[in-house]
Amino acid sequence: MASVGILAIQGDFEAHSKAVLALGHTPRPIKTANDLSTADALVLPGGESSTMLKLLLDEGLFEPLREACTSGRPVLGTCAGAILLARAVTGPAQESLNVLDMEIERNGYGRQRDSFVTSVMPGTLGGPEMEAVFIRAPLIRNTGPEVDVLVEHEGHPILVRQGPVWAATFHPEMSSDTRVLAAVLDSLLE
């Protein structure tokens, strides 16, 4: 049973807590730098990345979180969390943790279809098609050579991985399908 630290300063951290519990692990909210030390794995939830960034900087959590994300522990960022993990952010540009070599555009699906639910082929996760919930989702514009693209939708990566750091532009925690979180936590055993 793993202790999964979920950044709990803004956004949909409660949905992630439920998903962690559903897999038989222990969710732990992360609000301060001290909370980071006991987590075996980390989740950065969806929400509003600019607000999260401001709170991280104001509360002195930005640098400790960046260090935790490079400590080799599995990390999953979803939607706004993926934006925080990226090397570069556009639309508009903002600071980021720079722990996953990708350029990501905020709200990259545009206004007309900013939120939608679709089915995607799960790629290397295996199994049948997977539901993917997009909410004002970012678009991954490019990825570096060390990044594995695990799942794509309409020619764009939507689930990527660079070593222990994973990012999804959709919200796996909003579907009953636990494959993404299960794969991230399985990487604890690699």
Task: Give the three-state DSSP class for 153.
Answer: strand
Binding mask 27-56 for ligand GLN (x = CB under 6 A): -------------------xxxx-------
Tell me whether residue 48 or residue 152 sits nearer to ligand GLN (CB atom): 48
Active site residues: 79, 171, 173
Alpha carbons within 13 angstroms on the beta-carbon side of residue 189 total: 6
* Cβ–Cβ under 8 Å, residues 132 and 177: no
Q: According to the binding rule CB under 6 A, does residue 169 interact with ligand GLN? A: no
- What letter would DSSP give residue 125? G
Kindly tell me which of 51 and 142 has the beta carbon lying closer to ligand GLN. Answer: 51
Binding mask 131-150 for ligand GLN (x = CB under 6 A): ----xx--------------
User: Distance between CA 77 and CA 166 in Å, rounded?
Assistant: 6
How many residues belong to the site for ligand GLN (CB under 6 A)? 11
How far apart CA 85 and CA 60 sit, in angstroms, is 17
Binding to ligand GLN, residues 83-102 (CB under 6 A) = 83
